[in-house]
Amino acid sequence: MIENARVAVVGVGNNTSALVQGIAFYRQTGSLVGIRRPEIAGLGVGDIDVVAAFALSPGKVGKPLHEAIFAPPNNFPHLGAELPPAGIEVRRGLLDGTEIERVARSLNGAEVVLYSAPSGRPEVARAYAEAALTAKAAFINTTADPVAREPSILDRFQAAGLPLIGDDLASQFGVSVLHRTLLRLLEERGLTLVSSYQVNLGGTEDFRNLVENPGTKHRSKLNAIGSDKVQIAPLGYLPHLGSQKVAHLNVEAQGWGGTEVSLDVRLKVHDPSGAAGVNIDLIRLAAGALRAGRGGYVAEAAPLLKSPPGTAV
C-alpha cells in the first residue's frame, strides 16, 4: 500500500481550514462528493498527512493546528468531521528571507510545501521556496506572487529534481469560470453581447482586504473575463456571509433581429472549498512527481493555475 503524502502548510487561514477538515471528512466518510479526481499518483483525497504548519498570527502560533484553523478571523464552517486530537502545533512563520534554515529544519519530513498565505509578499513566498529546496521538498505557490514564473527559481527546482507548482490557484468553481462560460456560450451561439456585470459579496478577511484595496484584483478579474463590455462592480464586504461568497451576474445580449436575451444569475459558494478542492489535486500532483523523480515544472498542474510558468509576471 502506498504511503500517505506528507505536507507542510504555510498559512493557517480559511483555505487551510477547508483543506484539513476536508481531508478528515473524506477519510471518515469514504465519500467522494465534490471531488474531481478520486485518485492521483495512487493517492486518494484522504491520503494526505499534514505534518507541519506555519502562521504569523499570535492567535494561531503555538496552538494545535486543529484549534488554530478555527481561530478568528477564520470563519470557514465546521464540516463536522472529527479531527485527530493530537495534531501538530502551528509554528511561527517567516516575515522575510531570514530564518530559512529554521523553517527547513521544521518541515518534519514533508514531501510537499503548500504555500497558502495571503498574496502580496513575494519575498516571503520565495523564502519558503528556498526552505523547500533546502529540505528537498516540492513547492506549491497558490498565491499571485511570482515564484514558478521566475525562470531562475524554476531552474533550481529542476536541477534539484524537485517539483515546483504555481502560480496562483484557479478555484475549483467560482464566479470567474461561471461568467466566462456563460459569455463563451453566448459567443459560440452567435449572440451579441450588449453589457454584463458581476457583483461579488463576501465575508472573509480576504474580502475585506479586497474592498479596502480593490485595484489589483479588480483588474485581474477584468482580465479573467476578457471583455470591455463586462463590468465588475465594487466588491462588497458583508461579514455575516462568513466564508460564503455571493455573486450576482447579469448578461444582456442580442439575438436574431436584435431581440433581447437577458440572463441573471446568483451564485453562492464557499471560496475556501474552491481552493481546497484544487489544493488537494496540486498536492497529489507534486507528491507524485517527487516520488517519480520528476523535478521542475509539473505540466499537468497548468489547468489548475491562473498564472503558470510562461504567463506574464
**Positions that interact with a copy of itself (CB under 8 A):** 18, 21-22, 25-26, 31-37, 77, 79, 81, 172-173, 177-178, 181-182, 185-186, 189-192, 194-195, 197, 199, 201, 211, 229, 231, 233-240, 246, 248, 250, 253-270, 273-274, 276-277, 280
- Residue closer to a copy of itself, measured from CB, 71 or 178: 178
> Could you give the C-alpha distances from 284 to 277, 293, 301, in angstroms and in order?
12, 14, 10
Angle at 303 between CA 15 and CA 232, to 5 degrees: 65
Q: How far is the CB of 223 from a copy of itself (least distance, A)?
A: 19
The CA-atom distances, in angstroms, between 261 and each of 183, 186, 188, 230, 267 are 12, 10, 15, 16, 20
Q: Which is nearer to a copy of itself, 36 or 294 (CB)?
A: 36
Q: Which is nearer to a copy of itself, 105 or 189 (CB)?
A: 189
H/E element holding 10?
strand 5-10
Nearer to a copy of itself, 101 or 216 (CB): 216
In the complex, minimum distance from the CB of residue 284 to a copy of itself, in angstroms, rounded to a whole number: 13
Q: How far is the CB of 46 from a copy of itself (least distance, A)?
A: 12
Nearer to a copy of itself, 120 or 255 (CB): 255
Q: What are 293's three cell numbers?
A: 523523480
Name the strand (E) or helix (H) holding 6.
strand 5-10
Residue 87 or 236: which CB sits closer to a copy of itself? 236
> Distance between CA 243 and CA 274 in Å, rounded?
11
Distance CA 93, CA 124 (A): 9
* Minimum distance of a copy of itself from residue 292's CB (angstroms): 23
Q: Give least dist CB 231 to a copy of itself, A.
A: 5
In angstroms, rounded to a whole number, what is the distance separating the alpha carbons of residues 83 and 279?
Answer: 19
- CB 216 → a copy of itself: shortest distance, Å? 17
CA–CA separation, 40 vs 301, rounded Å? 12
**Which of residues 145 and 281 has its CB atom nearest to a copy of itself in the complex?**
281
- Cα–Cα separations (whole angstroms), residue 123 to 94, 98, 238, 282: 10, 10, 31, 22
How far apart are CB 62 and a copy of itself at their closest, in Å? Answer: 26
